[in-house]
Structure 1
């Protein structure tokens, strides 16, 4: 029996997904319920720093990631410090979503929040009611256990393969497949 999808689940795009928004994407679901799902792509780093993107943000050498194709005019963040940021929503062990934005900036100014404690996203990945479940039935996504290190320590360019390897068995073989198949 398959485990149900829930908040805190990692979703890996199946290896042959053609949608450029999700090709080899590693997504953390931050909200999943009967009305739909929200997640952030963890392995799409942009060239922009958060302090260059957002006005009145303290100097902070943290990149912004492309969270998904929806709401590209919104900024979100995941962090490890739910104990210090009021209003944070727990997502998985050691990972919180959002919270008091002014408090976040204060903690950064005080040096209590470092770039390794937080990850910023422009946009998000979203699914309407039952859409994600249908995509799971169709084999578009491979669910995986979440580890906070995937968000805060793993290099984004190898994250998809790393998580596939951690799943073991046939997934380890999939993890070693080249990104682009070439036929001569």
Structure 2
């Protein structure tokens, strides 16, 4: 059953300003899947503390700048998810599964020689953000997350600092005003 407020793969979830949980402060999450069983996505604007070369040395030179490992979320932080944007939209290389448009998930067991030259952008995440069945929809109804469309530069851009603000600002209107939010209520 498709719920009317269920996010679609490729959409962004932005943490509501002032959200109580510090972990999610100004979080920008790309939705990868959302169905009756639950939802999952990856946090786009936080680099992991560990170097990519320490865990996946063969992939270090293949990923898009800033050539780092990203913290995808608190679930399964020892696991890795690779997002890959096709170079040629007419092809579907081995080990790749479409998420939205030319964006997909690339299996990290794919031989590196097959990966080289097949993708316009790659990013690897340690862990992911996950929700049980109906949990994300309930959080959306409560107003914890703001849903907005994604752009390639949100997913593969080099400027992580201020990503939350830039995405809100381009929405205009009330959402654009939220981009000026501060943690000091008297300044809002």
Give the TM bin, normalised by the shorter chain. 0.7 to 0.9
Query: Is the CA contact 2:169–2:176 (under 8 Å) kept in the aligned structure 1?
Result: yes
Q: CA deviation at 1:18?
A: 2.1
Taking a change above 3 Å as real, the CA distance of residues 13 and 58 of structure 1, as seen in their structure-2 partners, is closer
Does 2:148 correspond to 1:144? yes
Query: Which of these residues, 81, 89, 97, is aligned with residue 97 of structure 2?
Result: 89
Q: CA deviation at 1:57?
A: 2.3
Output the TM-score relative to the length of structure 2: 0.83
Q: Is 1:181 equivalent to 2:184 in the alignment? A: yes
Q: Secondary structure of 1:46's match?
A: coil
Q: Unpaired segments of 5 or more residues in structure 2?
A: none
Q: What residue ranges of structure 1 are gaps of 5+ in the alignment?
A: none
TM-score (ref. length: structure 1): 0.84
CA distance in 1, matches of 2:7, 2:165: 21
Q: Does 1:64 align with 2:69?
A: yes
Q: Which moved more, 1:128-137 or 1:162-171?
A: 162-171
Q: What SS does the aligned partner of 1:122 have?
A: strand
Inter-partner Cα distance in structure 2 for 1:127 and 1:65: 19
RMSD: 2.4
- The answer on 1:98 being equivalent to 2:106 is yes
1:169 to partner: Cα distance: 0.3
